[in-house]
Amino acid sequence: MSETELLEAEKQLEKFKEELLQFLTIHYGKSFALDSRIKSAEKLKLKQKFLEAKHQRPIEIYQIPDIIGFRISVDDENEVRVVSDLIESFLNPNRLIDYFNNPRETGFKAKLYYFEDEDFNTEIQVMTRDMMEWTNATHEEHNKRKYENFHF
């Protein structure tokens, strides 16, 4: 990603973050945490190689579904459902991967929403605070396993 594209991605992240904070404050109104990030150039290249191998075709960087990412964490599973219903009703994601009702074999449990009509594809993950802590603690190991066969 070029320096210009990175600046544009940062602008989109900040705009989306502001809108998301306002949306959750108005429609949800309870305690939540919101984390955000833009994938690094190195991680984008790794993900590109991973997706190309998975789909057996070339993938452009701009096609990666989570260039910009948000994580919303709430107190408990019922609140995950409430926030998820709000996102589905008002924000119109392009697609959903439901690891909340169908957890991954690793134990990861969240709803992943994708917004692909933006300049940079954006993902919102909704999970409990406990899952967020577990995810943060195991993220490095997850990435090692996921990308172990992909190097530069």
126 backbone φψ class: left, alpha, beta (φ>0; ψ -120 to 50): beta
Q: How far is CA 69 from the centre of its chain?
A: 4
> Does the pLDDT at position 121 exceed 90?
yes
User: Mean per-residue pLDDT for 119-140?
Assistant: 89
pLDDT at position 82: 97
CA angle 42, 48, 49 (to 5 degrees): 95
Give the tens place of pLDDT for each residue, 6-42. Answer: 889 999 999 999 999 999 999 999 999 999 999 988 8
pLDDT at position 2: 76
Cβ-in-10-Å burial (0-12, 13-18, 19+) of 90 comes to exposed
Helices 129-147 and 41-55, packing angle to 10 deg: 70
With bands split at pLDDT 50, 70 and 90, how would you rate the model's confidence at 139?
A: low
With bands split at pLDDT 50, 70 and 90, how would you rate the model's confidence at 120?
A: very high
Q: How far is CA 73 from CA 26, 96, 98, 124, in A?
A: 17, 17, 15, 11
Q: Classify strands 122-128 and 33-38 as parallel, antiparallel or unpaired.
A: unpaired
**How far apart, in whole angstroms, are the C-alpha atoms of residue 23 and residue 70?**
14
> What superfamily does domain 3-147 belong to in CATH?
Beta Polymerase, domain 2 (3.30.460.10)
> Does the pLDDT at position 140 exceed 80?
no
With bands split at pLDDT 50, 70 and 90, how would you rate the model's confidence at 145?
A: low
> Does the pLDDT at position 143 exceed 60?
no
> Does the pLDDT at position 108 exceed 80?
yes
pLDDT at position 117: 80
Q: Please report the sign of the dihedral spanned by the C-alpha atoms of residue 97, residue 99, residue 100, residue 101.
A: positive
pLDDT at position 99: 97
Looking at per-residue confidence, does 100 or 146 come out higher?
A: 100
